[in-house]
Amino acid sequence: MTTRPESHLMATYPPQPVTFVRGEGTRLFDDQGKEYLDFLCGLAVTSLGHANPAVAEAISTQARELLHVSNLFGTVPGEEVAATLDRLLDAGDGRVFFCNSGAEANECAIKLARRFGGRGRHAVVSAYGSFHGRTLATLHATGQPQKHEPFQPLPEGFRHVAWADADALAAALDPSVAAVLLEPVQGEGGVNPAPAGYLTEVRRLCDEQGVLLMIDEVQTGLGRTGRWFGFQHYGIRPDVVTMAKALGNGVPIGACWARADVAAAFEPGDHATTFGGQPLAAAAARAVLGEMERLDVPARAARAGERLMCGLRELDGVADVRGLGLLIAAQLDEGRDARAVTAECLDAGLVVNAVTPSALRLAPPLTVSDAEIDEALGILGKVLAAGDR
């Protein structure tokens, strides 16, 4: 355990138990040369594995050509990435705004909803247990009141309803509501996939009330759930989709996609960012999407997810397994502490995290091999068995 009393970093993160210095595919290496299997991917970010050669090549090439010109000018990779995202969303008529993170993608969506709704129609309804970011507005959209308290007052215009309860949503939709914002699988809330029928009913309610349906795909997007986007499991068409985490495979980039007529609510000057979509990030995203399509990562995630879920269900100490594709939570037997298990896994060379006090989250690269899955299951099985003694 490295404690760093002299650290000049703000203490927003827990003390670091290890320092990783190198990665390759599903493997990470710490400063002592010890090897780990990364089944967390920096929180669903490095979906193509560490040091992906195609992405590394794109970054280094772009760094030698052009890093930044500002959004006063367009970029070639940005246009291509936007067109590809529009196609992967099965849309064909959308527009994209690039930014630098998931929270910024959701900020863009919230501002767009207000602009589209017009004065008096500005509220955003989201679900309890959701996570949408840490800026003041996205923190308020995040349906976890205990996270709000230290930062009151938060921006107005947010309300929360019970997750997966269409009646509760129906009751919340009055004429002040501009949009509903939901994750297809609540990630930080514990890996809770939307139950069958819920999003269809949400879509129907939104249509009935003239409310935008905005889907937060920051964690679920880009193949992780076994489809390009999580909402595609549910047969709905959103009006706005936000994404970030996996889009740059570690290079910061976020995106807010909207149907063209919704996007048209933004006029020049309404929204901007200095770095968003700059050539380096856009070139990384272009390479990521190219690799993802070449490898058909949604199919890989679906297949690998099945193997991992089946293996987890067999382990003593695991009470239940939930998730979609390679976004998985293993609910531990009662009395087990997920944080202790996470620490023991790390010690044994497996990176996972405690998504709740009693559940582990597993989000390996979409390129993970069967052998790596079996190896990880072996490590976790041993850790759980040792904890039994």
Ligand X SMILES: *Cc1c(COP(=O)(O)O)cnc(C)c1O
Interacting residues with ligand X between 224 and 283 (CB under 6 A): 244-245
Nearer to ligand X, 38 or 107 (CB): 107
Question: Pattern of binders to ligand X over 199-228, x per CB under 6 A?
Answer: -----------------x-xx---------
Quick check: is 39 catalytic?
no
Determine which residue in the list 101, 232, 342, 367 makes contact with ligand X, applying CB under 6 A: 101
Interacting residues with ligand X between 115 and 134 (CB under 6 A): 131-133
Determine which residue in the list 187, 223, 230, 325 makes contact with ligand X, applying CB under 6 A: 187
Closest CA to 368 of 347, 351, 386: 351
Q: Give the binding-site size for ligand X (rule: CB under 6 A).
A: 15
From the CB of 349, what's the least distance to ligand X, in Å?
A: 25
Nearer to ligand X, 360 or 384 (CB): 360
Considering the candidates 116, 131, 229, 231, report the single residue annotated as catalytic. 131
3-state SS, 25-74, equals: ECEEEECCCCEEEECCHHHHCCCCCECCHHHHHHHHHHHHHCCCCCCCCC
Residue nearest to ligand X (CB): 102
From the CB of 28, what's the least distance to ligand X, in Å?
A: 20
DSSP for 310-334, please give it.
HHHHHSTTEEEEEEETTEEEEEEPT
Nearer to ligand X, 188 or 239 (CB): 188
Asked if 361 touches ligand X (CB under 6 A), the answer is no
Which residues are within 8 A (CB) of 215 and not within 5 positions of it... i.e. 6 or more apart? 181, 182, 183, 184, 229, 230, 231, 238, 240, 241, 242
From the CB of 106, what's the least distance to ligand X, in Å?
A: 6
Considering the candidates 97, 116, 239, 245, report the single residue annotated as catalytic. 245
Determine which residue in the list 183, 239, 291, 372 makes contact with ligand X, applying CB under 6 A: 183
Quick check: is 382 catalytic?
no
Quick check: is 131 catalytic?
yes
Hey, CA dihedral for 136, 78, 245, 64, is it positive or negative?
negative
- The CB density around residue 242, as the number of other CB atoms within 10 Å, is 32
In angstroms, the CA 62 to CA 38 distance is 28
Asked if 102 touches ligand X (CB under 6 A), the answer is yes
Asked if 107 touches ligand X (CB under 6 A), the answer is no
In angstroms, the CA 207 to CA 280 distance is 39
Chain center to CA of 243: 7
Residue keyed to tokens 């560490």: 50
Query: Which are the catalytic amino acids?
Result: 131, 216, 245
Kindly list the residues in this chain that would bind ligand X in the complex (CB under 6 A): 101-103, 106, 131-133, 183, 187-188, 216, 218-219, 244-245
